[in-house]
């Protein structure tokens, strides 16, 4: 029986986020949200292990109250328990304070044999959370996991993707795993689970009910980094546009230009 934690995040659809040209702020209002796709691959890996070895999956996320919908989506696919960390004081957290917060909130559901994370989130995309969570859970880590071969006798064997090939590794439990999507496409929930997840209880953690929480280590005060400024990328001057009226003639002109440049 494995006790598994899966960390998930609700993100705005980054394709639809725009920057206010006047204020330089990001416009997130009305932008649809989704569950970070790579987190669903991590969840799938966890669900497959649960099916193989038995056990329970706890889902955890930090975010505004509406992040509940991401937990319900994941419950439908295979979570047993869901934890939402929410509250103003947690806002503005970087990975240093987020990893602290998640580990503190997850303590009462642990200890965990395995912790799963997406490789990175599509919005923040630092890719640091997994390592920092692993450190705070005092766990081994296997990143870029392609497939899990076996979990036995307090150890996990898995294949991971490196720059130049595939590496087979063996790690002690507890271990944190980040998953490549290739072999872990998320499944569709079945109807009973989908309907049950709509009504399932969600554990809400706030700054008031997480045991031993150091308020100096959460939210903005607990963050190591800040973002003092954002700005639109500076664009170079546009290149020469070829506009001759039709595709045929455009391509013809392009080939002429390339010939002049000696490129073709």
Partner 1 sequence: MAQYNTITPEVAAQLHAAVGEGRFFLREEVDPNYSHDEMPIYGKRLPEAAVDVETTEEVSAIMKICAANRIPVTCRGAGTGLVGGCVPLAGGLVLCTKRMNKILEYDMDNLVVRLQPGVLLKDLAADAQKHGLMYPPDPGEKTATVGGNISTNAGGMRAVKYGVTRDYVLALTVVLADGRVIELGKSVSKTSSGYSLLHLMIGSEGTLGIITEMTLKLIPNPVCDVSCLVPFRTVDDCIRFVPKIKLAKLDPQSIEFMDADIVTSSAAFTGNPIFPERVKNEDVGASVLVTFTGYDEEELDQKMIRLGEIAKEAGALDVLVVATSANKKSAWAARSSFLTAIEADTKLIDEMDVVVPVDKIPAFLIYIRALGDEVGIRIRNFGHAGDGNLHIYCCSNELEEDEFKRRVKIIMDRAYTKCAELEGQVSGEHSIGHAKMVYLRESVGEDVFDLMRQIKAVFDPDNILNPGKVCDSSVTM
Partner 2 sequence: MNKNDYKNMWVYIEHDGKTAAPVGLELCCEVRKLCDRTGDRLYAVVIGALPETELEKVKACGVDGFILVSGTGYDFFNTDAWANAFTVLSRKYNPSAIFVGGTVDGRDFAPRFAVQLETGCTSDAMELDWDPETGDIQFIEPAVGGKIMAVITVPVLRPQVGTIRPGTFPYAPVGAKERVEVIEERIDFDPAAIRCHPVGFIPDENDPELDIAHADCIVCVGNGLKDGEHLERYRTLARLLGGKLGCTRPLYDRGILPYKLQIGQSGVMVKPKLYISFGVSGAVNHTAGVDAGLFIAVDKNPNAQIFNYCDYGIVGDMDEVCDELIARLRAGDGKLI
- Cβ atoms within 10 Å of 119's Cβ, excluding its own: 20
Q: Are 33 and 11 in contact (CB under 8 A)?
A: yes
Residue 54 or 212 with smaller CB distance to partner 1? 54
Residues 74-103 that bind partner 1 (CB under 8 A): 76
Q: Is 163 in the site for partner 2 (CB under 8 A)?
A: yes
Q: Is 194 in the site for partner 1 (CB under 8 A)?
A: yes
| Residue 162's binding partner out of partner 2, partner 1, none, with CB under 5 to 8 Å set by partner kind | partner 2
Residues 197-256 that bind partner 1 (CB under 8 A): 198, 245-246
Q: CB of 24: closest distance to partner 2 in angstroms?
A: 8
Size of the site for partner 2 (CB under 8 A): 78
3 state SS of 160? strand
Tokens of 167: 């590496």
Q: Is 174 in the site for partner 1 (CB under 8 A)?
A: no
Length of the chain: 264
Residue 118: strand pairing partners: 179
Q: For residues 28 and 64, give the distance between their C-alpha atoms in angstroms, rounded to a whole number.
A: 13
Per-position x/- string for 46-75, each x denoting binding to partner 1 as judged by CB under 8 A, each - no binding: ---------------------------x--
Q: CB of 198: closest distance to partner 2 in angstroms?
A: 28
Q: Are 232 and 18 in contact (CB under 8 A)?
A: no
Sheet order of strands, 140-152 included: 155-161, 140-152, 175-179, 114-118, 2-7, 55-62, 81-85, 203-205
Tokens of 87: 């509250």
Residue 188 or 230 with smaller CB distance to partner 1? 188
Where does this chain touch partner 1 (CB under 8 A) — which range of 27-35, 42-50, 80-88, 98-106? 27-35
Residue 190 or 225 with smaller CB distance to partner 2? 225
Dihedrals φ, ψ of 106, to 5°?
A: -80, -15
Q: CB of 185: closest distance to partner 1 in angstroms?
A: 5
Residues 140-159 that bind partner 2 (CB under 8 A): 140-144, 157
- Cβ atoms within 10 Å of 212's Cβ, excluding its own: 6
Q: For residues 161 and 159, give the distance between their C-alpha atoms in angstroms, rounded to a whole number.
A: 7
Q: Is 202 in the site for partner 2 (CB under 8 A)?
A: no
**Residue in 128, 147, 183, 204 binding partner 2, rule: CB under 8 A:** 128
Residue with tokens 């696919």: 77
Residue 156 or 179 with smaller CB distance to partner 1? 179
Which class for 21: exposed (0-12), middle (13-18), buried (19 or more C-beta within 10 A)? exposed
Q: Is 188 in the site for partner 2 (CB under 8 A)?
A: no
Summarize as ranges the residues that interact with partner 1 (CB under 8 A). 32, 34-35, 37, 40, 73, 76, 185-192, 194-195, 198, 245-246
């Amino acid at each position: 029986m494995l006790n598994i934690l899966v960390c998930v995040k609700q993100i705005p659809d980054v394709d639809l986020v725009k920057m206010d040209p006047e204020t330089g702020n990001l416009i997130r209002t009305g932008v649809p949200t989704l569950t970070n796709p790579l987190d669903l691959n991590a969840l799938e890996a966890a669900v497959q292990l649960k099916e193989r070895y038995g056990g329970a999956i706890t889902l955890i996320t930090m975010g505004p109250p509406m992040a509940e919908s991401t937990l319900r989506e994941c419950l439908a696919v295979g979570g047993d328990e869901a934890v939402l960390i929410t509250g103003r004081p947690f806002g503005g957290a970087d990975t240093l304070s987020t990893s602290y917060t998640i580990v503190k909130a997850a303590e009462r559901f642990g200890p965990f044999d395995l912790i799963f994370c997406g490789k990175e989130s599509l919005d923040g995309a630092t890719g640091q959370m997994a390592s920092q969570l692993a450190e705070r859970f005092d766990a081994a880590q296997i990143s870029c996991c392609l497939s899990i071969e076996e979990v036995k006798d307090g150890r996990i064997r898995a294949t991971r993707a490196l720059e130049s090939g595939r590496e087979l590794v063996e790690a002690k439990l507890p271990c944190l795993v980040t998953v490549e999507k290739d072999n872990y496409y998320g499944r569709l929930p079945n109807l009973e689970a989908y309907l049950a997840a709509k009504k399932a209880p969600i554990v809400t953690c706030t700054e008031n009910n997480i045991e031993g929480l150091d308020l100096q280590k959460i939210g903005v005060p607990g963050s190591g980094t800040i973002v003092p400024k954002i700005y639109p990328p500076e664009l170079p001057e546009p290149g020469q546009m070829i506009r001759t009226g039709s595709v045929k003639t455009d391509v013809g002109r392009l080939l002429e230009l390339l010939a002049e440049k000696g490129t073709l």
